[in-house]
C-alpha cells in the first residue's frame, strides 16, 4: 500500500516541478562559477583611479573661482577669512553616496557645539562642471530645511564651477574620481576635509559606517585644530590636548602620556595649594596664641 502511494506521488511531478528541482540542485554550482569569474578582493577597473590622497599641510589655492547658490561669482578666500573650512566634494545628481555624505555632514552640523557661520564655514562643492546654480540652490534649500536651524543658514554654502577650477580644487586636496560610462555616474570616495583659514589642509575625516555617518567628536577636534586655538573654550583645548590625530585612520585617539601629564600637573597644583593652605592656618593659630599670651 505504501509503495502504491509513493509511486502515485512520484507520477504527480510534472515537467515544470522537475525542472525547478534540477535548477535548485545546480544553484550552488552557479555561485561557484560566479565566484571564479569575480575573484574576491579584486578591484573593478573603473575604481583603480578613484580614492583620496592625504595631502596634509598642502596649500589649497584660495583664488579659485566658483559660483554660489545665489549665482554670485565667489572665491574660496571669500569664505576663509579667519575661519576654518569644512569641505565636502560631491555632485548634486549623485544617486546615492553623495546624499549619504551630505546627510552625515548635516547630522554633524546639528550636534557640534561650535556653529557653522560663526566658528567655521561648511563648503559643499560639486566636482561635476556641468551642474548648474539652480541645482545647487535646490539641493541647499532641501538640506537647510532638514537642518531646521536658521542660525546655521549662512554657514553652509553649495558651489558649482567650471572644469578648470573644479579640477584644480580636487587635485589640490587629493580627491580622485572618474566618470563611468557604463553606469553613467561618477565613481568617487567620501570624506570631509578641514582647511585652515590660511588655506592649508589640516585634517581628513572618513565615514564611520556604510551610511556615511561621521564622528562629531573628530570633526569638532579637527575644527579646533585648524582654528589654532581661536575658537572653543579652555575645556575644549584641554580635551583636545589629550587626543592626537591619526592620519591613517582619519580619527582622533586618546594619548595616555598626555593624560598622565595633566593628572601630574593637577596633583602638583593640589599639593602646593594644600601646603599653602596649611601654612596659612598655622600662621593664624600662631597669631591667635600670641594674642592670648600677650
pLDDT at residue 90 in the model: 97
Q: What number is the average pLDDT over the span 130-153?
A: 95
Mean pLDDT of the chain: 78
H/E segment holding residue 139:
helix 133-147
Reading the block at residue 201, the C-alpha cell is: 589642509
Q: CA-to-CA distance for 252 and 92, rounded, in angstroms?
A: 30
Q: DSSP 3-state assignment of 235?
A: helix
Nearest to 163 by CA among 190, 128, 135, 111: 128
Least-confidence region, from 19-28, 48-57, 174-183, 223-232: 19-28
Between residues 149 and 26, the one the model is more confident about: 149
> Per-residue pLDDT for 166 more than 50?
yes
Between residues 85 and 257, the one the model is more confident about: 85
Query: 88 with 101: CB under 8 angstroms?
Result: yes
In whole angstroms, how far apart are CA 71 and each of 88, 135, 152, 158, 286?
A: 19, 11, 20, 11, 79
In whole angstroms, how far apart are CA 92 and each of 56, 128, 154, 186?
A: 27, 8, 20, 11
CB neighbours of 197 closer than 8 A, spacing ≥ 6? 80, 81, 82, 83, 84, 85, 226, 227
pLDDT at residue 196 in the model: 95
| pLDDT classification of 273: cutoffs 50, 70, 90 | confident
pLDDT at residue 103 in the model: 95
Q: CA-to-CA distance for 240 and 119, rounded, in angstroms?
A: 16
- Other C-beta atoms lying within 10 Å of the C-beta of residue 201: 21
Q: CA-to-CA distance for 109 and 90, rounded, in angstroms?
A: 17
Is CATH 3.40.30.10 the classification given to domain 51-227? yes
In whole angstroms, how far apart are CA 153 and each of 103, 107, 116, 150, 195?
A: 16, 14, 8, 5, 20
Q: DSSP 3-state assignment of 207?
A: coil
Q: CA-to-CA distance for 269 and 257, rounded, in angstroms?
A: 18
| Region at 81 (left for phi over 0; alpha for psi -120 to 50; beta for the rest) | left
The structural domains of the chain, with segments of one domain joined by +, span: 2-37, 51-227
In whole angstroms, how far apart are CA 221 and each of 5, 113, 231, 240?
A: 76, 11, 11, 6
| pLDDT classification of 104: cutoffs 50, 70, 90 | very high
What ranges make up the beta strands (E) of the chain? 51-52, 65-67, 73-75, 85-90, 121-126, 156-159, 175-176, 178-180, 185-187, 192-195, 201-205, 243-246, 251-254
pLDDT, tens only, 29-78: 343 334 344 455 555 665 678 999 999 999 999 999 999 999 999 999 99
Query: 253 with 246: CB under 8 angstroms?
Result: yes
> Per-residue pLDDT for 169 more than 60?
yes
- Other C-beta atoms lying within 10 Å of the C-beta of residue 105: 25
| pLDDT classification of 199: cutoffs 50, 70, 90 | very high
Provide φ and ψ at 69, rounded to 5°. Answer: -65, -15
Reported as half-sphere exposure (CB side, CA atoms, 13 A), residue 190 has a value of: 20
Amino acid at each position: 500500500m505504501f509503495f502504491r502511494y509513493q509511486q502515485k506521488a512520484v507520477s504527480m511531478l510534472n515537467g515544470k516541478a522537475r525542472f525547478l528541482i534540477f535548477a535548485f540542485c545546480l544553484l550552488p554550482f552557479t555561485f561557484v562559477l560566479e565566484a571564479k569569474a569575480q575573484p574576491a578582493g579584486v578591484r573593478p577597473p573603473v575604481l583603480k583611479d578613484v580614492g583620496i590622497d592625504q595631502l596634509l599641510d598642502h596649500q589649497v589655492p584660495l583664488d579659485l573661482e566658483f559660483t554660489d547658490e545665489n549665482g554670485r561669482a565667489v572665491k574660496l578666500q571669500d569664505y576663509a577669512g579667519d575661519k576654518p573650512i569644512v569641505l565636502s566634494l560631491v555632485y548634486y545628481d549623485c544617486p546615492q553616496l553623495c546624499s549619504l555624505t551630505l546627510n552625515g555632514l548635516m547630522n554633524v552640523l546639528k550636534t557640534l557645539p561650535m556653529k557653522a557661520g560663526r566658528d567655521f564655514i561648511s563648503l559643499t562643492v560639486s566636482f561635476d562642471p556641468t551642474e548648474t546654480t539652480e541645482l545647487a540652490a535646490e539641493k541647499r534649500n532641501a538640506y537647510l530645511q532638514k537642518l531646521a536651524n536658521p542660525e546655521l543658514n549662512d554657514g553652509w554654502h553649495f558651489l558649482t564651477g567650471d572644469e578648470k577650477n573644479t579640477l584644480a580644487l580636487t587635485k589640490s586636496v587629493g580627491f580622485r574620481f572618474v566618470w563611468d560610462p557604463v553606469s553613467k555616474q561618477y565613481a568617487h570616495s567620501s570624506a570631509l576635509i578641514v582647511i585652515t583659514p590660511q588655506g592649508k589642509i589640516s585634517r581628513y575625516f572618513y565615514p564611520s559606517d556604510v551610511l556615511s555617518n561621521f564622528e562629531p567628536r573628530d570633526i569638532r577636534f579637527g575644527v579646533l585644530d585648524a582654528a589654532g586655538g581661536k575658537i572653543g573654550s579652555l575645556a575644549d583645548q584641554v580635551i583636545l590636548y589629550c587626543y592626537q590625530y591619526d592620519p591613517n585612520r582619519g580619527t582622533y585617539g586618546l594619548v595616555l602620556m598626555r593624560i598622565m601629564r595633566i593628572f601630574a600637573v593637577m596633583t602638583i597644583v593640589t599639593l602646593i595649594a594644600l601646603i599653602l593652605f596649611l601654612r596659612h592656618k598655622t600662621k593664624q593659630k600662631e597669631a591667635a596664641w600670641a594674642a592670648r599670651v600677650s
